[in-house]
Structure 1
């Protein structure tokens, strides 16, 4: 039997928390244990009508209420309604552990509470002289409160920095669930993680997940591709001053759009699949095309022109618009005779001739549309045909030209030729990175520097957009 945790995203990974069970939430200071536990209590009250008790040695009532109001949790009102009780353990600690147990039992039984948090068990345990007393305390607590009163209980355990063991080493054996929180750094950017080390009665297929404290506690489960229930035509976004919209409201907010005449490097982790990075690039393509602006593509390794055309049509772009505004340069060896007008075959034997064809295509599209083009280049493809030096030579030429014509270039940097990607960094105006951690898709900026963002697919408008959540 499991009870809903109330934690956004967690029920996509586990069925809930053991009902009438003992859950240990452990981690270093500042990893989100208090917010997780408070969210558990708050959700139980608001969503399921289960009364809750929060017993704390960490902070007083007013501080707790103030901190929780910042997350949108009004525990003060819930207390006035008789649904919540805050216990300050500091005053009881001097009287001994038995006084704490008796007080908690009395309050839980009197209220009929079904959810309880002890913050923190580590502080309570310091009041015992002998570790055997702690074991007795745990068993008493488990039998009298968790089992007899049917109250699902969270015990918070502090893990000091530099240590990995939890408490006194036996709590995890008594517990029905063990959740371990920690924080790591990715290129100087903060990321929080949860490890589901134990969950009695359930198989856990994704034992490690990322989470954020942005607007409350939220687990970001492994990325999923989803389709809209009803497809709609993309609605173009307004461009920022002297720039272009990314086509994504969230990405526009994060980096302010793309400057006119700029070159964007999207560095792609080897664990990233083609549909993942297309979620970032696709809205930009749609925003250009549906404003009558042309798009030129040199596909990256592992991608085909057919996939690109199909992806564009997902945004409601017609076949006529594709043939009029899109040009895809593909090596002759990979094109059959029944190619559509948007596919331009070329012989990738001479860099100068291929670049000349590239410029001719751009000039023709700009002349017909009267607008600058978006160019998307798989730099691994260029390096494959013309060598690493050829790729950088082309990059230098294109950076200068882009500034002159005021268009936009996006370079796709897959790690097939890491030396090329590294050399492309100083040429780029904006440098974004796309990676994965525990299945969670993460996007972040190196130029400009941004926090980590969890990327989820949003199809609520009838087409795919990246939903970005700051990982704080």
Structure 2
């Protein structure tokens, strides 16, 4: 059986995932402040739109207008896709308060009501025919009650995966925390990608590691990445190592790099044949 992959649109990420995220997977994108979680999730949706795949963005921590402005800074103008009905922002931030918010089509009047949120998400999926989703951030739904974290993620997973979407759930953690954003969420999610921004010997280093991903082999190494004017770039051919409190970025052996590249290409070839 061929497992269809969904390409992330983040250069270097699909090689780390040996071809992409398995379709219908719900991926927890975890990390501290400033690590690029929102950018990653938006880049994922934008790439999908370029491939003709509709998507929805669930805004829990930022005004929809500001989200669009932030995306435009990277060259990702979603407004034409909104007009075409291919993209929608679910406003779970404003509660419908404010003149701009009143013009939003998908508004969650009580963002703390997970059942209401799910109903509005379903409506947005139905109207757009979405294949991709990003929720930023899911932690907002359970920060005051962390014990319900797993339950919340499971509710969202049943809806998103059940309707055929491949989804990114942004999960907030503190700068020094090494967890994933709530008790048990690591078991509810199909995949976990951890983004980090750490200081070593007076310098900050960005890196990511795929903690797990159901349905695919993936790199078990910590890879450096950058945030550019065009989004994230992951250096799948390099690894971040720490020795004696100092960080070193090393080139991976050519054989390892070739294995990742061939696996990613093989998935693409199989997908083309299936089409």
With the shorter chain as reference, the TM-score category is 0.7 to 0.9
In 1, the alpha carbon distance for the partners of 2:22 and 2:169 equals 13
The alignment status of 1:131 with 2:134, answered yes or no, reads no
**Contact map agreement 1:23 1:178 (CA 8 A) in 2:** yes
Alignment of 1:424-439 (within 5 A): 436-437=248-249, 439=251
Quote the residue 2:157 is aligned against.
142
Q: Secondary structure at the match of 1:41?
A: helix
Q: Secondary structure at the match of 1:213?
A: strand
**Offset at residue 94 of structure 1 (A):** 4.7
* Structure 2 unmatched runs, 5+: 96-107, 242-246, 254-275
**Contact map agreement 2:85 2:127 (CA 8 A) in 1:** no
**Offset at residue 203 of structure 1 (A):** 2.2
Quote the residue 2:28 is aligned against.
24
* Distance change (3 Å), C-alpha of 1:190 and 1:53: same
Quote the residue 1:159 is aligned against.
173
Alignment of 1:337-356 (within 5 A): none
In 2, the alpha carbon distance for the partners of 1:130 and 1:71 equals 33
TM-score, structure 1 normalization: 0.45
The alignment status of 1:119 with 2:136, answered yes or no, reads yes
**Contact map agreement 2:71 2:77 (CA 8 A) in 1:** yes
The alignment status of 1:173 with 2:187, answered yes or no, reads yes
In 2, the alpha carbon distance for the partners of 1:12 and 1:162 equals 28
Alignment of 1:179-190 (within 5 A): 179-190=193-204
Q: Secondary structure at the match of 1:182?
A: strand
* Distance change (3 Å), C-alpha of 1:138 and 1:187: closer
Alignment of 1:47-446 (within 5 A): 48-90=51-93, 91=95, 92=108, 93-94=110-111, 96-126=113-143, 129=145, 131-132=147-148, 134-147=149-162, 149-215=163-229, 216-222=231-237, 436-437=248-249, 439=251
- 1:167-195, Cα deviation, whole Å (9 max, x unpaired): 22211112111000111234433321001
* Distance change (3 Å), C-alpha of 1:33 and 1:130: closer
In 1, the alpha carbon distance for the partners of 2:146 and 2:39 equals 31
Q: Which has the larger radius of gyration?
A: 1
* Structure 1 unmatched runs, 5+: 224-270, 272-434, 442-472
Q: Secondary structure at the match of 2:8?
A: coil
Quote the residue 1:40 is aligned against.
44
Q: Secondary structure at the match of 1:217?
A: strand
In 2, the alpha carbon distance for the partners of 1:85 and 1:161 equals 31
CA RMSD of aligned residues (A): 2.2
**Contact map agreement 2:196 2:207 (CA 8 A) in 1:** yes
Q: Between Structure 1 and Structure 2, how many residues are aligned?
A: 227
TM-score, structure 2 normalization: 0.76
Structure scoring higher RCO (CA < 8 A, sep ≥ 6) equals: 2
In 2, the alpha carbon distance for the partners of 1:87 and 1:199 equals 27
In 2, the alpha carbon distance for the partners of 1:152 and 1:108 equals 12
**Contact map agreement 1:209 1:221 (CA 8 A) in 2:** yes
